[in-house]
Chains A and B, each alone.
Chain A
Amino acid sequence: MTFFDQWITWLPQLSPGLTVSLSLTGLCLVFGMPFGLVLALMIEGKIVPLRIVALLFVEIGRGAPALVLLYLLYFGFPEGGIVLSAFTTAVISLSWTTGAYSSELFRAGLAAVPRGQREAATTSGLTGWPGFRYIILPQALRISTPPLASLAVTIFQTTSLAFVIAVPELMSKAYELGSYTFEYLGVFVLTSILYGAITVAALALVRLGERRLSRHL
């Protein structure tokens, strides 16, 4: 049996894991990114208690390694009487990580909108929420999108950590496959190719999108 034949027989066994990894990534982005934007707004806002709460979330989310956060929630939730599946726990934990990191990127984007834009919005009567919603936010999002997309790719790779709390994602499927074929090296080479292919493809998309977004800036 050649190298390739082997890989082709392994792929169907790994693909359910890949599906779990991708849906875990998708959910973390869907929940984590808006959470990050809300955190950024709370930090930039004038209400001190909200700012403190947001800073706490961000500093814990960035300060604790994603793996440690996973364990903390996985063992912490049941202590508090909350029983969640491993998958749900992973979604919450990694969304937190995503939110913490993305909030910094959102803040950088907001800060990068030229001051003249705020002044032009103000003098055009677009103060408060409308000015933010229609003038500042769209420009900030354009500036933040490339680093946010890179973060999304990093989060995809980080989902491999969910293996430690028994989420049946790609990494755990690979480990499983290794443990009954004893071909650990081959299995993990194939696994890394799968992670790599998706990462490279996603980053190529990011570059394409980056060019589109900077058209009018």
Chain B
Amino acid sequence: MHMELAKTRAESPPTVGAVEVVGLDKAYGKNMVLRDVNLEMPEGEVLSIIGPSGAGKSTFLRCLNYLEVPTAGTITIGNTTVDAGARPSRASLDHLRRVTGMVFQSFNLFPHLTVLENISLPQIKVLKRSRDEAHEISRNLLSRVGLDAKSGEHPSRLSGGQQQRIAIARALALSPKVMLFDEPTSALDPELGLEVLAVMRDLADEGMTMIVVTHEMNFARDVSDRVMVMADGGVLEVGPSDQIMTQPSHERTRKFLRAVLDR
């Protein structure tokens, strides 16, 4: 799909830091749902987060753009650093969200707007692009996700897979430094999931930095550079995808992988 746009990934590991998370905690009252999560990612890396449900994968992802407010720790994305202990300013949160693009499990397209408006409105209101410029960028993004023919439709007329591809285009329209995916295919039929995964694969090939919470083990193995395994609010292990998927060092990881791969 759209291979003409896909550049081959750089062979040598990139060196610029894109994401750095230090000592991230999140508690609901006395209930610690995230405990001392640390992460360092170079630019252009694709990281998959796997693990049993209730592990804190989505919560961790949602802390990165402050949809969930962490209790402690610092998050650095690009040149924006937010310290959870210091009550971050509204401007720094806006900036954190500006440099991250978010794709939700349930798509969350704006139902009252057409596909073109869904992708254009944030550009016009947030980046102050002109209507014409925004529409042109939106049309380019739509053809990148293979949906140029749907620009005038409302989301309710589209399949889940199409909606999710548009959600990806909407996030890309703000030129984020990092794309966050929260189980992007979990609400989709396997077949529709494939078209979303193909778009994500293209994006990875183009060098986008991506963090993907997923249950798609093939994607984790084949597309991502590294895999992070979470359980009970903490990180069990992080490592190159091949190693984690074939020779994990934790028994807990082995048990989890057996359970999902044997299905």
**Which residues of chain A have a CB within 8 Å of any CB of chain B?**
114, 116-117, 119-127, 130, 134-135, 138-139, 142, 215-217
The residue that B156 contacts in the complex, of A116, A123, A217, with Cβ under 8 A, is: A217
Q: How far is the CA of A120 from the CA of B106 in the complex (A)?
A: 10
Check B154–A216 contact: CB distance below 8 A.
Answer: yes
Check A130–B111 contact: CB distance below 8 A.
Answer: no
Question: Chain A: which residue is nearest B94 at the CB level?
Answer: A127
- On chain B, the residues within 8 Å of A122 by CB distance are 67, 97
In the assembled complex, the CB of B67 is this many whole angstroms from the nearest CB of chain A, namely 6
The residue that A126 contacts in the complex, of B102, B122, B171, with Cβ under 8 A, is: B122
B164 in the interface (beta carbon within 8 A): no
A-contacting residues, B146-199, CB 8 Å: 154-156, 167, 170-171, 174
Q: How far is the CA of A123 from the CA of B108 in the complex (A)?
A: 11
> Number of contacts between A and B (CB, 8 Å)?
66
Check B125–A126 contact: CB distance below 8 A.
Answer: yes
The residue that B109 contacts in the complex, of A119, A120, A134, A138, with Cβ under 8 A, is: A120
Sample of 14 further A-B pairs with CB below 8 A, known A120-B104, A125-B122: A119-B108, A120-B108, A120-B109, A120-B167, A123-B171, A124-B126, A124-B170, A126-B121, A126-B122, A127-B94, A130-B126, A139-B110, A142-B112, A217-B111
The residue that B94 contacts in the complex, of A119, A125, A134, with Cβ under 8 A, is: A125
- Interface range, B side: 20 to 34
Known: A138-B112, A139-B111. A119 touches B67 (CB 8 A): yes
- On chain B, the residues within 8 Å of A142 by CB distance are 112
- On chain A, the residues within 8 Å of B125 by CB distance are 125-126, 130, 134
Q: How far is the CA of A126 from the CA of B127 in the complex (A)?
A: 10
Q: Which A-B residue pairs are the 9 nearest by beta carbons?
A: A125-B126, A120-B108, A123-B102, A124-B122, A116-B108, A216-B154, A130-B125, A138-B112, A216-B156
